[in-house]
Chain A
Amino acid sequence: MAEPVLAADGTPLKASLKRALRRQKMRALLLIAPLLLFIMLTFIIPIGQMLFRSIENQIVSDTIPRTVAALDSWDHDADEVPPAPVFEALAKDMMIAAELKEHTRLGSRLNYEMSGISSLFRKSGRRVDDIGEVYTDQFTDLDPAWEDPATWVQLLAAPSWIAAGDAWDGSGAEPAFEISNDATTQFPETADIYADFARVIQTEDNDSPTEEEPWNVVYLALYNDLMANPGATAPAELAGLIDTTRSALPGFEVEDVKASFEDIDDDWISADVWETIYTYSPAYTNGYFLNAIDLQKTPDGIEWQPENEQIYLTLFWRTMLMSLTITFSCILLGYPVAWMLANLPSRKANLLMILVLLPFWTSLLVRTSAWKVLLQNQGVINDLLVWFGFVADDNRLALINNATGTIIAMTHILLPFMILPLYSVMQTIPPSYLRAAKSLGATNWTAFWRVYFPQSVPGIGAGSILVFILAIGYYITPEIVGGTKGVFISNRIAYHISSSLNWGLAAALGAILLAIVLALYWAYDRIVGIDNVKLGG
């Protein structure tokens, strides 16, 4: 075998070449790095985050985790309200959420799926602290020690935390509460809710569990623990208290938590409410996407929305259709103008070019509002038509607040995006081709259709893609002149972003719109070929 060829410095030429190439690539990458980073930070990441909202649904399991866990074993097909433990879990979750002021946020989230849940949660958050009061009263009547926060700390806090608390000098925040391991095994339910109680007291109220009497639901939890585990043992100092309490328990009045919730609002014993919570309890949901195509998620599977709530498919379809119409109007109007621009002597062409660009420099709102003045019933165009006698005064044309208005105004606004690429492509077509065609006997039409037009197709492609993609996402013009029949899907997206705050649904609608555009782009590439698109010579 031959010796490998060596470079001047003695390394094999292959390796040396590779290194040089790699260095070149790195340099190229470094050159585009600022732009890449900029696009990542300001475009890709925010859009990705926004689109991610279309499936994100952690709010339910984050806000009411115990309830969601308890609902796992609920037979939702039976059309019945869940059993008592679910309500007890809800009481605890709701208590914490109300203290953290998170229950109303969850209420608004679930209200998108079922009307009435918003006020149900708001109302329940106000009154949930009463639940379990029966137990609190009986515990404290039995022995006032139960009223003393110190008793609870002794029973449930980790010795290390108590020691840390003793050593704490009172400056800064109190050390974060820790639950004792014994309590977690002996009184699991109590330990669980008390840990949250202590956390909320420390973080929200800047207070100490050593000074605050626990919530009523903590007493409820202790009652449950003592009933469920008669052999539970407490730290030695509290053994007596626990023993007397335990022996008194059978005589305690019991609270039906389900009834307490019913008392707050009888919607809580409606199976529909629970089915909604159950259906939307997973951390990720396809619910927003289903809603975005007029479907809905029910416990029994996917169903169509009731007919009187279906709108999105209509709007998607209308957006497509009208964007196509606008694109074709732009071709029809733009092609002759571009041809003139390309074939006039340059002085005149420049003047015309300014006329094309002039609207570009005028505010979009001003142009749209101008169309309003022109097109309305008592507007300039209708007045002229009546004056000429083309239409009767009492039968004026409806040119605005409908699809016609949107198409006219948007064609005008997007026209430059068609003319400019057409113009730059047409400029590169040598006029001699047409002359040659004619000298070989072609008629004007044949010369245009067989020789000129095919060469201008890349311009039409570029213009159409520009106009169509801009049109499909247009929002302000349809809002102003579209009335009810001329609005686009983007108007609903805007509504859900800024008014209803249903960002998940807005994200799903946006994702679908993006997918449609990409699909059409792909189809265009397959049919026409994206190499055939030219923005200039």
Chain B
Amino acid sequence: MTLTKALMATSALTLAGSTAFAESHMADEMTIVSWGGAYSASQQAAYHDPYMEMTGVTIVNDESSNEAVAKLRAMNEAGNITWDVVDVVASDAIRLCDEGLALEIDADEQLAPGDDGSSASDDFGDLIVSDCFIPQIVYSTTAGYRTDLVGDTPPTSICAFFDLEAYPGMRSLEKRPINNMEWALLCDGVAKEDVYDVLETEEGQAQAFAKLDTIKDSVVWWSAGADTPQLLADGEVVMGTTYNGRLFSLIVEQEQPVEMLWDAQVFDLDGWIIPAGLSPEREARALDYVRFATDTQRLADQAKYISYGPARASSAPLVGQHATLGIDMAPHMPTDPANATNTFLYNYEWWADYRDDLDAKFQSWLAQ
């Protein structure tokens, strides 16, 4: 037993008489891991600050979410887990759950029911894509274009990326097969519902690569979410894909001549996981935090700071105005009906199977 644990245990014993039983058995410091930047700032304002004020807990921020899976695996092997709550995308949550590195959550037991009286599992609905995943936001990977560089007919479809005649110039796409393969097939005449069936076959993959081949020389490949906004702002590319929140800040906060192209946006989820193997006090604290941070009001609050949709159905009506700009946030949400006329949901299961294989092919294709 480490010294801190021993101290905590004894202080818990002495305090047991005066404070509530549950409180005294929770750690009073926690490390929360997230993505950093504007996103972490929105969580700080909507979740951390009110929670710290309410409980007196000290929250330490760590910005390691992009390598959370690898780091958690290493911590697990070393037998020393230093994180309490980790913000990850859904596909990472599935992998962490698969590897036994994340705690399984019973939504109805361990998460708050919706403000409208619905149970947590109904409120989150299908967004609970893994037993370990506590959904937080819906975001999308979508496109933006420079209004001054596309001529008189601004693009309305994702297929504009593949139309070099109408929209000459460079475009930026993410340096991974996910999303790009689907868009390539969609724009090559494959029906939306058939995309994954086609992509499962060798011919389908060849077809997608052939379509991507047509624009290969005009693509800048990005690997960080901030790349596309920068490239658009510099006029390096005519259009590019990135996360919708990044484009929101480029367009609304930085007022660049850029428009959203919501067509065929790919919905993805981001949320919390709690690492498996925490001490009981830390686990109790982590569970208490996520219960608070994913209730209806808190999720709606986050949308004041960043244009990502709250994961609870009951939060949607509570989404208000931007905290500093005072504009209505609803029309900037990926889930807004006007934006969501043609959408995709990231197919987690399918990509879990084909990711390794297609990534090898994609990298090989890039290197040719």
Task: Answer whether A309 and B100 are a contact pair too, CB < 8 Å, given A111-B356, A115-B357, A501-B73.
Answer: no
Closest to A123 in B: B349
Are B356 and A500 in contact (CB-based, < 8 A)?
Answer: yes
CA distance A122 to B365 in the complex (A): 30
Interface residue total, chain A, C-beta cutoff 8 A:
37
Q: Let me know if A484 is at the binding interface, CB within 8 A.
A: yes
Are B100 and A105 in contact (CB-based, < 8 A)?
Answer: yes
Q: Let me know if B221 is at the binding interface, CB within 8 A.
A: yes
Q: Let me know if A101 is at the binding interface, CB within 8 A.
A: yes
Are A484 and B366 in contact (CB-based, < 8 A)?
Answer: yes
Are A104 and B99 in contact (CB-based, < 8 A)?
Answer: yes
Are A484 and B367 in contact (CB-based, < 8 A)?
Answer: yes
CA distance A31 to B262 in the complex (A): 67
**Smallest CB separation, A205 vs chain B (Å):** 14
**Smallest CB separation, B99 vs chain A (Å):** 5
Q: Let me know if A119 is at the binding interface, CB within 8 A.
A: yes
Q: Let me know if A416 is at the binding interface, CB within 8 A.
A: no
Are B95 and A108 in contact (CB-based, < 8 A)?
Answer: yes
Residues of A within 8 Å of B356, CB to CB, are 111-112, 115, 500, 502
Are A311 and B367 in contact (CB-based, < 8 A)?
Answer: yes
Are B100 and A102 in contact (CB-based, < 8 A)?
Answer: yes
Residues of B within 8 Å of A308, CB to CB, are 209, 361, 364-365
Closest to B355 in A: A500
Task: Answer whether A401 and B220 are a contact pair too, CB < 8 Å, given A104-B99, A108-B98, A501-B95.
Answer: yes
Are B221 and A484 in contact (CB-based, < 8 A)?
Answer: yes
Closest to A314 in B: B367
Q: Let me know if A325 is at the binding interface, CB within 8 A.
A: no
Closest to A117 in B: B353
A86-130 near B? 1/0 per residue, CB < 8 Å = 000000000000000110110110011001111100100000000
Residues of B within 8 Å of A112, CB to CB, are 356
Are A309 and B95 in contact (CB-based, < 8 A)?
Answer: no
Residues of B within 8 Å of A378, CB to CB, are 234-236
Say whether chain B's binding surface is mostly helix, strand, loop, or mixed.
helix
Partner of B236, one of A105, A118, A377, A483: A377
Residue of B69, B73, B235, B236 with most chain A CB atoms under a 10 A cut-off: B236
CA distance A484 to B366 in the complex (A): 6
CA distance A479 to B95 in the complex (A): 25
Task: Answer whether A105 and B352 are a contact pair too, CB < 8 Å, given A376-B234, A401-B220, A484-B367.
Answer: no
Partner of A376, one of B70, B236, B349, B364: B236
**Smallest CB separation, A148 vs chain B (Å):** 30
Q: Let me know if B67 is at the binding interface, CB within 8 A.
A: yes
Are B353 and A111 in contact (CB-based, < 8 A)?
Answer: yes
B78-104 near A? 1/0 per residue, CB < 8 Å = 000000000000000001011110000
B200-238 residues at the A interface, CB under 8 angstroms:
209, 220-221, 223, 234-236
Residues of B within 8 Å of A401, CB to CB, are 220-221
Which residues of A approach B to under 8 Å, CB–CB? 101-102, 104-105, 107-108, 111-112, 115-119, 122, 305, 308-311, 314-315, 376-379, 401, 479, 483-485, 492, 497-502
Interface CB pairs A-B, < 8 A, 16: A101-B100, A104-B99, A108-B95, A116-B353, A118-B98, A118-B353, A119-B352, A308-B361, A309-B364, A311-B367, A376-B236, A378-B234, A498-B69, A499-B70, A500-B356, A501-B70
A104-B99, A497-B70, A502-B356 given. 5 additional CB < 8 A pairs? Answer: A102-B100, A309-B364, A376-B236, A378-B236, A484-B366
